[in-house]
Structure 1
Amino acid sequence: MHTDSLSAIAAGYHHSVLLLPDGTARACGENTYGQCEVSGWRNIIAVAAGNAHTGNSHTVGLRSDGTVIAAGWNKHNQCNVDDWHDIVAVAAGWRRTVGLRADGTVVAAGRNNEGQCEVSGWSDIVAVTAGDWHTVGLKADGTAITAGNNRYGQRNVNGWQELKMISAGYLHTAGLRADGTAVATGLNKRGQGEVGGWRKIKAIAAGSHHTVGLQWDGKVTATGWNDYGQCEVSGWTDIVAIAAGCTHTLGLQKDGTVVTAGSNAYGQCDTALLHGRSS
């Protein structure tokens, strides 16, 4: 089974998810709403975790046949994705789930009070990401399109060009350009948007109040809120994927090992559980 390493780990508000090479998934951390109940999932090729600032989270899995499965908080029907088909990528935000279809169109389920699910008119999309109150799509021409709340300018991406990756945090959006540089917009109170000096980046992840960049050499950099040590990633090496939650950060090494930084108050950094071992 082919798995994109960049979609193999996900960080929620207080939980973490790992996609194993055999197409199964494991999760650790807070399970108040059943967001960690993924042990029965099979034929999974990508995972996503809702990073809700309230702690109410859900987890989404994309199967190899293009269908989707979800577990966790479902007050706003964000887990009602059983009828989705031909999906090639998924994203989980606060109270909603977003799916990218093979034809470049997008579908969403969940809370839409601020228009964050109004994506049905999008086309030529190659990637999607979901923050708390806004949704962003990466278009095939390297530009971005958005929906939802823009109170802090998190949707101000109209001038962005030559993008290869996007990631939406709580109230900010980060983008990775084809030349390995990064850009960010939105709330910057914690310095989560200070990515202008980054170079040679191949992947980017936006957490609630911090932003993480995976460098070409497998090392990692981070900026923003660090009260729990979630930005203390400078010593990581051989990383092939990153994920940013609220108070923790995950890195997947090329040998399949998961490394963590930040709070473990809910067991979200108990990586032994992700690998099926006793902690």
Structure 2
Amino acid sequence: MPALAAGRRHSVLLRRDGSVLACGNGRAGECEVSSWSGITSVAAGNVHAARNTGRSHTVGLRADGTVVTTGWNGDGQTDVAAWDGITAIAAGWRTTLGLRENGTVVAAGRRIEGQCAVEEWREIVWIAAGDWHSVAAHADGTAVAAGNDLRGQCDVGEWNHLTAVAAGHLHTVGLQQDGTVVATGERRTGACDVAGWNGVVAITAGSRHTVALREDGTALAVGDNDFGQCNVHEWNGLTAIAAGSAHTIGLRGDGTVIATGCNADGQCEVATWNAHR
């Protein structure tokens, strides 16, 4: 199934045939995905907008449960060659997570803030990676988090009825079974202002903004809008969304891709993409 991923300065599209496209800043090799095939899911490492490294990584999940990566490996975040039995992936800043078919989680990359301390997690069905923290949803709908809790982004212990989670720079978002959304963490950016949302079927978190896909194919967004990354309210016919550090991309049902937000590195140059080709 076609899917999207967005990082600090690049965007990624998984096409229906299992091939992958990428655009944007590729100086660390994060856009070198043209040889990939048999991919079922993609993830892109994200970096807080204030950082100026310009380096990131891209992750792909193969149909056989193995994982392929490309890009920056400063903290070992692409050292995933030995992983197998993986059913889902997530990429953060200097971090990669993999969900195994038995409900456990593996991690590679930076460990200083504790974001890779996921060895004890069990019965996990969804994972997300932020800048300095990792989050997961259990099969029973509760959540667990590890890593930096500077703004309360790991305060998910009372959440329940979850079907998905997403992680940004200093905030965490959860999608509930009834289509409503909860959030915790840094509130000054507005990225946690999701209390009135409903009819949501998917969520994604950028560095300082949050985006939701509604069941009618429209999108919602809150948070930092300095680059227009939240200008998604006129989008329609969507089947997938992804939030990068300061840009947002959406996949339409006809296979085309749209983008808004920061395009300093060409990460929004997706007009020619089609997931069905």
Number of the residue aligned with 2:206? 207
TM-score by length of 2: 0.96
CA distance in 2, matches of 1:97, 1:213: 23
Show CA shifts across 1:177-230 (max 9, x none): 000100100011110000001011111111000000111100001000001110
Give 1:275 deviation, angstroms. 4.3
CA distance in 2, matches of 1:180, 1:22: 30
Instruction: Return the letter of the residue paired with 1:18.
Output: L
> Which has the larger displacement, 53-62 or 217-226?
53-62
CA distance in 1, matches of 2:213, 2:89: 20
CA distance in 1, matches of 2:99, 2:11: 22
Show CA shifts across 1:229-267 (max 9, x none): 100001101101110011110110111111111111110
Number of the residue aligned with 1:145? 144
Instruction: Return the letter of the residue paired with 1:161.
Output: N
Q: Does 1:220 align with 2:234?
A: no
TM-score by length of 1: 0.95
CA distance in 2, matches of 1:204, 1:72: 25
CA distance in 2, matches of 1:66, 1:236: 33
**Which ranges of structure 1 fall in alignment gaps of 5 or more residues?**
none
Q: Does 1:9 align with 2:10?
A: no
The structure 1 segments of at least 4 consecutive aligned residues displaced by more than 6 Å after TM superposition are none
2:255–2:274 CA contact under 8 A, matched in 1: no
CA distance in 2, matches of 1:179, 1:273: 36
User: Alignment partner of 1:81: what SS?
Assistant: coil
1:28–1:274 CA contact under 8 A, matched in 2: no
Instruction: Return the letter of the residue paired with 1:91.
Output: A
Equivalent residue runs for 1:237-256 within 5 Å = 237-256=236-255
CA distance in 2, matches of 1:180, 1:85: 32
CA distance in 2, matches of 1:84, 1:114: 23
**Which ranges of structure 2 fall in alignment gaps of 5 or more residues?**
none
Say how many residue pairs are matched.
271
Instruction: Return the letter of the residue paired with 2:128.
Output: T
CA distance in 2, matches of 1:215, 1:45: 23
Instruction: Return the letter of the residue paired with 1:244.
Output: A
Aligned sequence identity (%): 55
Give 1:274 deviation, angstroms. 4.0
* Residue 37 (structure 1) aligned to one of 22, 32, 37: 32
CA distance in 2, matches of 1:33, 1:108: 21
Instruction: Return the letter of the residue paired with 2:4.
Output: I
Number of the residue aligned with 1:165? 164
Instruction: Return the letter of the residue paired with 1:219.
Output: T
1:224–1:231 CA contact under 8 A, matched in 2: yes
Number of the residue aligned with 2:179? 180
Number of the residue aligned with 1:26? 21
